[in-house]
Amino acid sequence: MNAPGAQPLTITVSDDSAVSALLLRPEKARAAYVFAHGAGAGMAHPSMAVISEGLAARGIATLRYQFPYMEKGSKRPDPPAVAQATVRAAVREAARRCGELPLFAGGKSFGGRMTSQAQAKAPLEGVRGLVFLGFPLHPAGKPSRERAKHLAEVKVPMLFLQGTRDALAELDLLEPVVKELGSRATLHLVQEADHSFHVLKRSGRDDREVMAEVLDSFAAWVVKHS
């Protein structure tokens, strides 16, 4: 299935704030995913494009967007309130443009965490589930479960796609977190992958094969929850 080129959009967050976005919608899309970038790279990063194009090939539309700090060229992430307001604005825009499709939200690392925080505070309208592409449970070298506390307030299904070498989510901490969330949460472990889903040569696989596994699991979960 060939997807058309991504459509540039502008999303109004508030009276004095707007951010860029890219909508990629394949023919006969069966769901839509609103997803945000990680802390260090924006929506145009090659990894974001690979995810968007790979999901389009699997019949899932994507709306990827910038946080205000990235839009301004800053390296300091926005405060949670600003990031969460941006998540809500992006979800509204996706609902306006793809409202007939089952809607999911999430993102890579920081983007996924800001999405879940927004959902925990007040449900994102129309969102059926959250998908995390590497949930950042803690900073590298500082294992903790503090960042997971709000997940107990998320009442929609969640999919955690995590590499077993992820330095931002040690498995002996992440696995109990997911278990405690019960039937709402699904954990898919990607063997030998790090936080960015890169693998070492000794794994016998390359990054393309790993990303195919990630996106196949993503698409299967979305179909189940659509």
For residues 165 and 11, give the distance between their C-alpha atoms in angstroms, rounded to a whole number. Answer: 35
For residues 98 and 59, give the distance between their C-alpha atoms in angstroms, rounded to a whole number. Answer: 13
pLDDT digits (tens, 9 = 90+) for 69-107: 999 999 999 999 999 999 999 999 999 999 899 999 999
In this structure, what token pair is assigned to residue 220? 């299967």
Q: What is the mean pLDDT of residues 163-187?
A: 97
186 is a domain residue: yes
> What's the pLDDT score for residue 2?
43
Span of 19-28, 58-67, 72-81, 196-205 with lowest mean pLDDT: 196-205
Over 80: is that where the pLDDT of 1 sits? no
Query: What CATH number has the domain bearing residue 26?
Result: 3.40.50.1820
Helix residue spans in 126-225 (DSSP H) = 171-180, 207-225
135 is a domain residue: yes
Over 80: is that where the pLDDT of 26 sits? yes
Range of the domain at 187: 7-225
Domain count, the chain: 1
For residues 12 and 17, give the distance between their C-alpha atoms in angstroms, rounded to a whole number. Answer: 6
> What's the pLDDT score for residue 225?
96
Over 80: is that where the pLDDT of 4 sits? no
pLDDT digits (tens, 9 = 90+) for 123-146: 999 999 999 999 999 999 999 999
116 is a domain residue: yes
